[in-house]
Amino acid sequence: MTHSPHRRFFLRAAGVQLALPVLESLLPRALAAAPPPRRMVCIGNALGFYPSAFFPKQTGPAYDLPSLLAPIGTHRKDLTILSGLDHGVKGGHFAIHSFLSGVRTVDAKGMPEGNISLDQRAAESVAGATRFPSLAIGSQDGIHGGCMMCWTRSGMRVPPIEGPKELFRKLFLSEQGAELDRARDRFRLHGSILDTVKGDAQSLNRDLGKRDQQKLDEYFTAVRDVEQQIALNRTWAEVPKPSAPIPEPDNKGMVPDLPVLYDLMALALQTDSTRILTLEIAGGFLASALGIKKDYHALSHHGQLQENIDDLLKLELYQMQQFARFLAKLKSIDDRGATLLDRTMVLFGSGMGNANSHTNSNLPVILAGGGFRHGQHKAYPQSGSSRTQLCNLFLTMLQHFGVETPRFGTSTGTLTGLETVRT
Claim to verify: residue 220 and residue 312 sit in the same structural domain? no
The CATH number for 393's domain is: 3.40.720
**Residue 3 confidence (pLDDT):** 42
Please state the rounded mean pLDDT for residues 252-279.
Answer: 95
Residues 6+ apart with CB under 8 A from 165: 248, 249, 250, 251
* Whole-angstrom distance, CA of residue 158 vs CA of residue 221: 15
Most confident of 86-90, 287-291, 391-395, 416-420: 391-395
Report the predicted TM-score, pTM, of the whole model to 2 decimal places: 0.82
Please state the rounded mean pLDDT for residues 107-123.
Answer: 94
Tell me phi and psi for residue 183, to 5 degrees.
-65, -40
Please state the rounded mean pLDDT for residues 302-331.
Answer: 96
Q: Say yes or no to pLDDT of 73 above 90.
A: yes
CA distance to 28, 175, 272, 348, per residue, from 6 (Å): 12, 18, 10, 30
Claim to verify: residue 199 and residue 82 sit in the same structural domain? no
CA angle 126, 254, 164 (to 5 degrees): 50
Claim to verify: residue 79 and residue 207 sit in the same structural domain? no
Please state the rounded mean pLDDT for residues 4-23.
Answer: 48
The residues pairing with 83 across neighbouring beta strands, listed in sequence order, are 379
State the pLDDT confidence band at 6, using cuts at 50, 70 and 90: very low
Claim to verify: residue 23 and residue 57 sit in the same structural domain? no
The answer to whether residue 228 sits within a structural domain is yes
Looking at the structure of the chain, the number of domains it has is: 3
**Residue 17 confidence (pLDDT):** 45
Residue among 100, 405, 59 nearest 277 (CA)? 100
The secondary structure of residue 304, as a DSSP letter, is: T
Claim to verify: residue 15 and residue 78 sit in the same structural domain? no
The answer to whether residue 254 sits within a structural domain is yes
Claim to verify: residue 214 and residue 158 sit in the same structural domain? no
275 close to 403: Cβ distance less than 8 angstroms: no
The answer to whether residue 153 sits within a structural domain is yes
State the pLDDT confidence band at 195, using cuts at 50, 70 and 90: low
* Whole-angstrom distance, CA of residue 210 vs CA of residue 116: 24
The enclosing H or E element of 182 equals helix 178-204
Identify the sign of the CA torsion 404, 408, 414, 420: negative
**Residue 239 confidence (pLDDT):** 79
Claim to verify: residue 48 and residue 188 sit in the same structural domain? no
State the pLDDT confidence band at 178, using cuts at 50, 70 and 90: low
Of 152 and 17, which is predicted with more confidence? 152
The answer to whether residue 411 sits within a structural domain is no
**Residue 351 confidence (pLDDT):** 94
266 close to 279: Cβ distance less than 8 angstroms: no
The answer to whether residue 136 sits within a structural domain is yes
**Residue 16 confidence (pLDDT):** 45
β-sheet with 344-350: strand ranges across: 135-138, 276-281, 39-45, 344-350, 365-369, 79-83, 377-379
Rg (CA), the chain: 22
The answer to whether residue 220 sits within a structural domain is yes
Residues 6+ apart with CB under 8 A from 35: none
Q: What is the Cα 228 distance to its own chain's centre?
A: 20
Q: Which of 190, 209, 240 is the last residue in one of the domains?
A: 240
Q: Which domain holds residue 361?
A: 40-167+247-401
The answer to whether residue 124 sits within a structural domain is yes
Q: Say yes or no to pLDDT of 82 above 70.
A: yes
Claim to verify: residue 150 and residue 1 sit in the same structural domain? no
Ranges 160-169, 180-189, 361-370, 377-386: which has the least confidence = 180-189
Claim to verify: residue 358 and residue 387 sit in the same structural domain? yes
Claim to verify: residue 153 and residue 288 sit in the same structural domain? yes
**Residue 110 confidence (pLDDT):** 82
Claim to verify: residue 327 and residue 202 sit in the same structural domain? no
To 10 degrees, the CA torsion angle through 82, 84, 85, 88? Answer: 170
**Residue 386 confidence (pLDDT):** 83
The answer to whether residue 421 sits within a structural domain is no
Please state the rounded mean pLDDT for residues 52-62.
Answer: 97
Helices (H) and strands (E) in the chain, counts: 10, 11
Give the β-pairing of 365-369 and 79-83. antiparallel
Terminus-to-terminus CA distance in the chain, angstroms? 30
Claim to verify: residue 132 and residue 262 sit in the same structural domain? yes
Q: Which of 189, 222, 240 is the last residue in one of the domains?
A: 240
CA angle 268, 415, 47 (to 5 degrees): 60
